[in-house]
Amino acid sequence: GAVVSQHPSWVICKSGTSVKIECRSLDFQATTMFWYRQFPKQSLMLMATSNEGSKATYEQGVEKDKFLINHASLTLSTLTVTSAHPEDSSFYICSPFQAGDYEQYFGPGTRLTVT
């Protein structure tokens, strides 16, 4: 299977600060990147979809100015949580996707705790 890395795996930040999460597809080119959010004991909720070199498309209810997504290359995408608040504390998972494939791969996730 494909190798996907996420960094950091766990981050604690203070309220009001910004946090950047990196997602890398190590052995394939991700034409599309999905970002999910998962609260404890709940399912994955799609936040946004980004295509390499294009602006991200956000799902309804997701603030695009709070969750900045950059997909500058086929192997790297970043999610920046701006002005983080305690309610942003969650588990964030990236999922790179390669055009022509029907299988999605998932990063190991990043646990964000905002104090």
Partner 1 sequence: AQTVTQSQPEMSVQEAETVTLSCTYDTSENNYYLFWYKQPPSRQMILVIRQEAYKQQNATENRFSVNFQKAAKSFSLKISDSQLGDTAMYFCAFLRPNTDKLIFGTGTRLQVFP
- Binding region for partner 1 (CB under 8 A): 1, 32, 34, 38, 41-44, 46, 49, 91, 93, 95, 97, 102-104, 106, 108-109
Shortest Å, Cβ 97 to partner 1: 6
Closest contact distance (angstroms) between CB of 4 and partner 1 is 10
Helix (H) or strand (E) holding 22: strand 19-25
Nearer to partner 1, 82 or 89 (CB): 89
Q: Check whether the bond before 8 is cis (ω within 30° of 0).
A: yes
For partner 1, which is the closer residue by CB, 43 or 61?
Answer: 43
| Cβ-contact 95, 112 below 8 angstroms | no
Minimal distance, residue 60 CB to partner 1, in Å: 12
Q: Which is nearer to partner 1, 26 or 46 (CB)?
A: 46
Query: Order of strands, edge to edge, in the sheet holding 4-7?
Result: 4-7, 19-25, 76-81, 67-73
Q: Which of 3, 13, 21 is nearest to 96 (CA)?
A: 3
CB of 71 to partner 1, least distance (A): 14
